[in-house]
Structure 1
């Protein structure tokens, strides 16, 4: 199977997930959408969980490794700007489509972690490490271990609590009101 053909199949999978949910997605639907035979799909992937996991892993994450504005506040505001865009909305749609299935299929949970969570964690670790090196944050600040929870919590909670998406403006205010005070509170003076 060529890389282009595989990409077409993965796009069909992700499009179908965005339109419905994991339970509604079938190998028949994928085959129809991708203009492929079910036999082709089953020759390459054992079943739906493996195909969906492969499609998730195929996604290219944002180039967050290059994030470095020179300050903790700048880096966090850039994360908020990037996170509050269309990419976040797409991720949340996929996460909602997969949330129940991830409990039943650990391979899906692993794929979500590898394709979406791990790159974000790497970025946040780099932001924190640079802030510690610059003396902006105390290395032993207990809030450092909760940075990912703080940021992801806001993006996941706002649609539930306020019935509004976590847009860049909201996330920027959240960074100023919650994240930065938590991270800067333990700084040695």
Structure 2
């Protein structure tokens, strides 16, 4: 049964899958999560609802995977510049300022929906948050192995909080979208000192 289910879910080509994800993100930006329906996705992409449900199970998984697909190509764990600063800068430079502004607006629109819809939160944790945390952990583990970061530094548990916080707070506090320049400066001024500074007792 598992093999049959996998075969059914793999009929969509990568190109077609990318088209579907693009359409989902367009609809999210137009109407928001609550008003987005599988009927609308089917109509926009000229797909059948049966195909969408067979491939993704429902709206929460489809939206979470669309957001994940929208992230810059490649895995964070594949970035290995030889230093933590280089890795975090390389991660930031994968998105240009226009992409950051679009992604910031999209995530602001989804923030409330994630916390009001348990199924969406579950899908986000499974398909977006969990994988991101695992990749950041591998980057940090390499920094620990190189001696840049102490293994017992408590700031390592808050690295994702710092990165996401800067991305979200830029618009809230400064009324400006996040940019490469802003995030690179934030990494150098806040994230790296917290992670790489010696701990005093």
Query: In which range does the TM-score fall when normalised by the shorter chain?
Result: 0.7 to 0.9
**Alignment length (residue pairs):** 188
2:194 to 178, 182, 186: 182
If the length of structure 1 is used for normalisation, what is the TM-score? Answer: 0.80
Name stretches of at least 5 consecutive residues in structure 1 with no aligned partner: none
Which residue does 1:24 correspond to in 2?
35
Which residue does 2:108 correspond to in 1?
96
Whether the 8 Å CA contact 2:72–2:95 is kept in 1: the answer is no
Name stretches of at least 5 consecutive residues in structure 2 with no aligned partner: 1-7
Distance 1:127 1:52, change over 3 A: closer
Whether the 8 Å CA contact 1:31–1:37 is kept in 2: the answer is yes
- Deviation, 1:78, is 1.7
Alignment of 1:1-189 (within 5 A): 2-4=11-13, 7-38=18-49, 41=52, 47-53=58-64, 55-56=66-67, 62-63=73-74, 64-82=76-94, 85-186=97-198
RMSD: 2.9
If the length of structure 2 is used for normalisation, what is the TM-score? Answer: 0.76
Distance 1:151 1:71, change over 3 A: same
Whether the 8 Å CA contact 2:92–2:180 is kept in 1: the answer is yes
